[in-house]
């Protein structure tokens, strides 16, 4: 069979980095082909070459056996290549129909947009995908899953033959993920080729036909999914056996570092009480909207609370305390959205690491560049951050290395309490294991840690205790020994309240 889309010996370099080294890849009609690799393996660079964002230094691309040159995203779209990014590029104040036909609205007489026809055709496209969605609704009112549907509908409304999904389920519930998979199945049945990128390994075995693995910018191999297994794929990705990746070690539990007493904020938190001790990792579990992130923000001083008290090492933080007061007290927060809340991506690594310590690194209001560089170099080495130099802009690092930079920023403040919100979201299995190992090492050194995660296996593997939240309350606080995912979900859905 002639491949629908084929890349041969693709190479691409950036200053100080060889991103791709003679990588070959092919996609067949009616196939879902997974593209796997650790952060920094070259997946994003390869996708950007496919979609016309980058030009390769060498190598060829062909569609239906005919060589093509893709110099811009518009050329890729003309050739039928449509990327559906993890961070969806939709216009929030336009309707569903307007987003589906953005830039190619149907015209009527005198060259004016035929809105009646646009809404009618948008309804037909959405209904053809087997979903119910009001095409007159503005995008800002929709969930992430519904926005994914719009992106798929946009593909279905064009001559797209190759659709690239980049981490499409990272913010979706199980139900929404099943809906998305159904839509992908319909595209596959129509003969489209699907390139699927995900860090969720179970999705690869559920959805994909073949899998290609990259490591350090090189092709490791391509295999039928039916002829491989999880252990083999991880070994291909990280270059070592899965048993070497991570093993949690116990830490000595000491005195109470954090005590939250009856903290409430109308509509957000309800009478929340929690303690965390030295050397202890307390996992916070719960469904989306349960109040987990809001609790972290209240502790860090980023969100006001109406009643209650927060104590650090027997010192009460003043009501309405600020983040700077929390930092002084010894609290660090690694937020769930590293790009929007944890980093200034346009600044170099060294500035991002030193950001919370500018006052202590300055003399008479002038930043000491030599002290900043020494600090950054120490934490780049300590956390094995992969970067050409500390002067590299954070935006050019992989997701896993960006997360390490955020963690380094807070470790540099020597916190007593470290709060990590979704610490491994969007990072590969190797980076996840290294972050887990780092958190365990910090606990063994006596740091108190709160870990918020939607990944229940991660919560159970990493925690000494699990606090479960439901509708702004902590409804269960249990030791992890003997705890199951089913028991956590029982409380997270509020069933324990009626028992």
> Which DSSP letter does residue 317 get?
P
SS3 233: helix
Q: For position 231, what pLDDT does the model report?
A: 81
Question: What are 11's two structure tokens?
Answer: 């190479």
- Residue 158: pLDDT band (50, 70, 90) is confident
* pLDDT of 498 strictly over 70: no
* pLDDT-above-90 percentage for the chain: 46
Numbers of helices and strands, H then E, in the chain: 17, 22
Q: Which of 208-217, 264-273, 428-437 has the lowest mean pLDDT?
A: 428-437
Mean pLDDT calculated for residue range 308-330 = 92
Distances in whole angstroms, Cα of residue 413 to Cα of each of 293, 316, 434: 21, 20, 21
Q: State the span(s) of the chain assigned CATH 3.40.50.300.
A: 5-242, 256-498
Instruction: Supply the DSSP string of 243-255, one letter for each residue.
Output: GGT---------S
Mean local confidence (pLDDT), 487-491: 87
Taking only the tens place, the pLDDT of each residue in 261-270 is: 999 999 899 9
Q: Which residue has the higher pLDDT, 195 or 436?
A: 195
Predicted confidence (pLDDT) at residue 149 exceeds the cutoff of 90: no
User: What is the number of alpha carbons within 13 Å of residue 106 lying toward its C-beta?
Assistant: 14
Task: Check residue 247 and give its pLDDT.
Answer: 56
Percent of the chain having pLDDT more than 70? 93
Structure tokens at 34: 């997974």
Q: What is the pLDDT of residues 391-419, one digit of tens each?
A: 999 988 877 788 889 989 988 888 999 99
> Of the candidates 8, 27, 6, which has an alpha carbon nearest to the alpha carbon of residue 187?
27
Note the pLDDT of residue 216. Answer: 84
Give me the DSSP letters along 47-106: HHHHTTSS--SEEEEEETTEEE---SHHHHHHTTEEEE-SS----TTSBHHHHHTTT---
* pLDDT grade for 493, boundaries at 50, 70 and 90: confident
User: How far apart are the two ends of the chain, measured CA to CA in Å?
Assistant: 59
- Residue 161's SS3 state is coil
Query: Does the pTM exceed 0.85?
Result: no
CATH architecture of the domain 256-498 equals: 3-Layer(aba) Sandwich (3.40)
pLDDT at residue 246 tops 60: no
Domain 5-242: assigned CATH number: 3.40.50.300
pLDDT band for 69, please (50, 70, 90 cuts).
very high
How many C-beta atoms surround the C-beta of residue 92 within 10 A?
11
For the chain, give the mean pLDDT. 87
Residue 245 has pLDDT above 90, yes or no: no
Q: How confident is the model at residue 241 (pLDDT cuts 50, 70, 90)?
A: low
């Amino acid at each position: 069979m002639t491949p629908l889309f084929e890349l041969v010996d693709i190479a691409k370099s950036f200053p100080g980095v060889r991103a791709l080294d003679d990588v070959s890849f092919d996609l067949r009609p009616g196939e879902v082909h997974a593209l796997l690799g650790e952060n920094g393996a070259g997946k994003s660079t390869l996708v950007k070459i496919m979609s016309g964002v980058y030009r390769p230094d060498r190598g060829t691309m062909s569609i239906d056996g005919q060589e093509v040159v893709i110099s811009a995203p518009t050329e890729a779209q003309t050739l039928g290549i449509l990327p559906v990014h993890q961070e969806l590029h939709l216009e929030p104040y336009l309707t569903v129909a307007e987003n589906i036909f953005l830039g190619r609205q149907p015209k009527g007489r005198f060259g004016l947009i035929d809105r009646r026809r646009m809404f009618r055709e948008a309804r037909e496209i959405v209904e053809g995908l087997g979903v119910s969605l009001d095409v007159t609704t503005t995008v800002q009112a929709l969930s992430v899953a519904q926005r994914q549907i719009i992106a798929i509908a946009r593909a279905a409304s064009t001559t797209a033959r190759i659709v690239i999904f980049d981490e499409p389920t990272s913010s979706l519930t199980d139900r929404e993920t099943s809906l998305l998979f159904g839509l992908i199945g319909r595209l596959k049945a129509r003969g489209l080729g699907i390139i699927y990128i995900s860090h969720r390994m179970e999705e690869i075995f559920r959805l994909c036909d073949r899998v290609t693995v990259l490591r350090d910018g090189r092709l490791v191999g391509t295999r039928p999914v039916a002829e491989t297994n999880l252990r083999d794929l991880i070994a291909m990705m990280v270059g070592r056996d899965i048993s070497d990746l991570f093993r949690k070690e116990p830490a000595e539990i000491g005195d109470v570092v954090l005590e939250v007493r009856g903290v409430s904020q109308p509509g957000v938190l309800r009478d929340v009480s929690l303690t965390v001790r030295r050397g202890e990792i307390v996992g916070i579990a719960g469904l989306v909207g349960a109040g987990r992130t809001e609790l972290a923000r209240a502790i860090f001083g980023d969100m006001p609370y109406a009643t209650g008290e927060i104590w650090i090492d027997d010192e009460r933080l003043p009501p309405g305390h600020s983040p700077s007061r929390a930092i002084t007290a010894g609290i660090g927060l690694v937020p769930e959205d590293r790009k929007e809340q944890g980093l200034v991506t346009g600044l170099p690594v060294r500035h991002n690491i030193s950001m919370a310590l500018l006052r202590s690194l300055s003399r008479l209001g002038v930043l000491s560049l030599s002290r900043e560089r020494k600090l950054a170099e120490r934490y780049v080495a300590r956390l094995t951050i992969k970067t050409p130099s500390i002067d590299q802009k954070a935006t050019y690092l992989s997701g896993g290395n960006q997360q390490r930079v955020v963690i380094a920023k807070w470790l540099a403040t020597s916190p007593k309490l470290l709060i990590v919100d979704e610490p491994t979201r969007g990072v590969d299995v190797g980076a996840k294991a290294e972050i887990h190992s780092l958190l365990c090492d910090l606990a063994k050194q006596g740091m108190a840690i709160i870990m918020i995660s939607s990944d229940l296996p991660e919560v159970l593997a990493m925690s000494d205790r699990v606090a479960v939240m439901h509708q702004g309350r902590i409804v269960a606080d249990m030791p992890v020994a003997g705890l199951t995912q089913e028991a956590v979900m029982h409380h997270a859905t509020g069933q324990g309240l009626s028992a």
